[in-house]
């Protein structure tokens, strides 16, 4: 993966925004970090379970078996 000038500029801007947000709001973040961590954890957990169409469905195992059997018939 090549590092382009645009990627470096984008990452520098993100770093500066993060630094500014931290310096301006660190007292609030430190005061409520448990709640922030909890809600970020729950949000990421939900996103991971719904991403790429791999939900928890009853037919998921059957779909995998059907895909494998169809691939073997060719």
Asked if residue 60 belongs to a domain, the reply is no
Predicted local confidence at residue 61, as pLDDT: 55
Domain region containing 3: 1-50
Task: Give domain status of residue 43, yes or no.
Answer: yes
Spell out the per-residue pLDDT of the chain, length 74, in tens: 678 999 999 999 999 999 999 899 888 888 988 998 899 999 888 888 776 655 555 555 555 666 666 655 55
- The predicted pLDDT at position 23 comes to 92
In the chain, how many domains are there? 1
Beta-carbon-side half-sphere exposure of residue 37 (alpha carbons within 13 Å): 5
Does 66 fall in a domain?
no
Cα distances from 48 to residues 11, 39, 51, 66, in angstroms, run 24, 14, 5, 24
pTM, rounded to two decimals:
0.42
Q: What is the pLDDT of residue 60?
A: 53
Let me know if residue 71 belongs to a domain. no
> Within a domain: residue 29?
yes
């Amino acid at each position: 993966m090549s590092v382009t000038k645009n990627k470096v500029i984008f990452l520098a801007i993100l770093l500066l925004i993060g630094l500014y947000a931290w310096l301006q709001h660190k007292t609030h973040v430190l005061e409520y970090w448990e709640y922030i961590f909890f809600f970020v954890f729950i949000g990421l957990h939900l996103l991971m379970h719904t991403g790429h169409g791999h939900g928890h469905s009853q037919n998921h195992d059957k779909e995998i078996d059907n895909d494998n059997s169809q691939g073997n018939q060719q």
